[in-house]
Amino acid sequence: MRILAMEQDVPGVQNEDFTPEIKRAEAIRAWELYLAGVFRELYFRQDRSTAVLLLECASIEEAWAALDSLPLVQAGLIAFEVIPLAPYPGFSRLFTSQSTTAP
């Protein structure tokens, strides 16, 4: 199952709360999840400094567990919106026809 996770700001968190130690721990954990195939793609939004992640998990619960293992989440510095994705169904219109006449 593909899952989109979009970082959300946590009220009251300041830039100085993101110490070099916790940022390093975050990078290490993200790398571990990437190597495990859980994090498939990692991005930062171009318009603001928040992460956008594409995860591959068996369930939403598994995605939440992976995100909850991140040091920045554990410290309450970031949160995520989690969006389960499904394959786009629109291509089926190419292969089904309402018309009985041949093209």
pLDDT band at 92 (very low <50, low <70, confident <90, very high): confident
Three-state SS annotation for 4-68: EEEEECCCCCCHHHCCHHHHHHHHHHHHHHHHCCCEEEEEECCCCCCEEEEEECCCHHHHHHHHH
Question: Of the given ranges (27-36, 40-49, 86-95), which has the lowest mean pLDDT?
Answer: 86-95
Q: What is 2-86's CATH number? A: 3.30.70.1060
Q: How far apart are CA 40 and CA 88, in angstroms?
A: 19
pLDDT at site 97? 65
pLDDT band at 103 (very low <50, low <70, confident <90, very high): very low
* Domain locations in the chain as residue ranges: 2-86
pLDDT band at 41 (very low <50, low <70, confident <90, very high): very high
pLDDT band at 98 (very low <50, low <70, confident <90, very high): low
Mean pLDDT of 43-48: 95
Q: How far apart are CA 46 and CA 33, in angstroms?
A: 23
